[in-house]
Amino acid sequence: MDITIQKMGDFRNILMVVNPISGGEEKDDLIADVQKEVQNKNWKFHLFKTEGENDIEKIQQEIKKVEPERMLVVGGDGTINMVAEALLHQELPIAIFPAGSANGLALNLDIPKDRKEQIKIALGDNFTNLDVLQINNQLCLHLSDIGLNAELIENYETAAIRGKFGYLMQTIPTLIKSKYPYEYEVEIDGNTFHHKGIMLAIANCKKYGTGAKINPEGMHDDGKFEILIFKNLDIAEILGTLREDVKFNTDFAEIISTNQAKIKCKKPIAFQIDGEFIENTQNIEVNIASKSLKIAVK
């Protein structure tokens, strides 16, 4: 895995941001384990739990109050995205405790599932820089898309069953209701390309949280992102994305690497960022943000 390692000096104040409902699992034991380890180091531990309303502003207020040297984030990709939004203009590193339904960013950064290893990484001194995308004035750290997957996420968010099984339960209803193929117009460096397909992805990383590698050549720290147009519902090709050595047939998917793009859809299409359904939209503009995000890694 290609990760640029950096070092950071000592720190004392730790602010842990926890999404209590992400992934449908209790977080109390994890909080207690982290707090114990932080206090064993004679550092100061501070806890903030999200509430679902004005959390970005509340996190920013907590940062001003605590003045942490590092943020620990417990939640899924949407929670990490929210913390990144709160830190947009600050040089403050974060550590990830994956606790969402899919945890795609943690998978791409090789964050282990073992809790002791997670705590060791979170309180360690190795970091990587993660490019941050700005999509229609919203941040994207991992993956965004329009089309079939975004429809699945929209359906999942209104369903009663959470976790990966919840996604699985929504797959068939989504396929039945979907009105694919969709038509896209992609403008890059003044050149316009017309495409038709089941999904258009905007990828800052290689994999979805399911392990599907949809962006085989992507790098999270190269100052670029990839536009991927998936042309048809080819089950064999889709299953092939679960292989580490996946290579796409050009009849199945097309990949364009760039640092900016404008996308127009013939009609409003479901749109998601980092696993959170945003809206049905026809127009999307993507750029690389001026600042990257510093994340603790092993």
Same structural domain, 173 and 236: yes
Please give the share of the chain, as a percent, with pLDDT higher than 70: 87
CB atoms within 10 A of CB 215: 28
pLDDT, tens digit (0-9, with 9 covering 90-100), for 232-262: 877 677 667 767 777 788 888 999 999 999 9
Same structural domain, 28 and 119: yes
Tell me how far the alpha carbon of residue 21 is from its chain's centroid: 17
**Could you tell me the CATH number of the domain that includes residue 120?**
3.40.50.10330
Same structural domain, 154 and 276: yes
Same structural domain, 122 and 213: no
DSSP string, 191-208: EEEEEEESEEEEESSSB-
- Among the candidates 104, 132, 160, a domain finishes at 132
- Look at residue 284 and tell me if it is in a domain: yes
- Look at residue 295 and tell me if it is in a domain: no
Which range of residues forms the domain containing residue 223?
138-290
pLDDT, tens digit (0-9, with 9 covering 90-100), for 136-164: 989 999 999 998 888 877 776 665 445 55
pLDDT, tens digit (0-9, with 9 covering 90-100), for 257-289: 999 999 999 999 999 999 889 999 999 999 999
Same structural domain, 124 and 159: no
Q: With contact defined as beta carbons under 8 Å apart, do 121 and 109 qualify? A: no
Same structural domain, 239 and 259: yes
- Look at residue 296 and tell me if it is in a domain: no
- Look at residue 38 and tell me if it is in a domain: yes
- Look at residue 30 and tell me if it is in a domain: yes
- Among the candidates 101, 132, 163, a domain finishes at 132
pLDDT of residue 131: 95
Mean pLDDT of 69-93: 92
Number of structural domains, the chain?
2
- β-bridge mates for residue 140, sequence order: 133
Alpha carbons 295 and 266: distance in angstroms, whole number: 38
pLDDT, tens digit (0-9, with 9 covering 90-100), for 182-230: 999 999 999 999 999 989 999 999 998 888 899 988 999 999 999 999 9
Mean pLDDT of 6-15: 68
Q: Which residue has the tokens 């114990």?
A: 36
Mean pLDDT of 122-128: 95
Same structural domain, 179 and 102: no
pLDDT of residue 167: 47
Same structural domain, 143 and 284: yes
**Could you tell me the CATH number of the domain that includes residue 163?**
2.60.200.40
Same structural domain, 199 and 73: no
Q: What's the pTM?
A: 0.86
Same structural domain, 211 and 226: yes
- Look at residue 1 and tell me if it is in a domain: no
213: which DSSP letter? B
- Among the candidates 132, 151, 171, a domain finishes at 132
Mean pLDDT of 34-43: 95
Same structural domain, 25 and 153: no
- Look at residue 297 and tell me if it is in a domain: no
Same structural domain, 123 and 142: no
pLDDT, tens digit (0-9, with 9 covering 90-100), for 101-115: 779 999 999 999 999
Kindly list the distances between the CA atom of residue 103 and the CA atoms of 77, 85, 96, 182, in Å, as whole numbers in the listed order. Answer: 6, 18, 10, 27
Non-local CB neighbours of 7 within 8 Å, separated by 6+ positions: 125, 126, 127
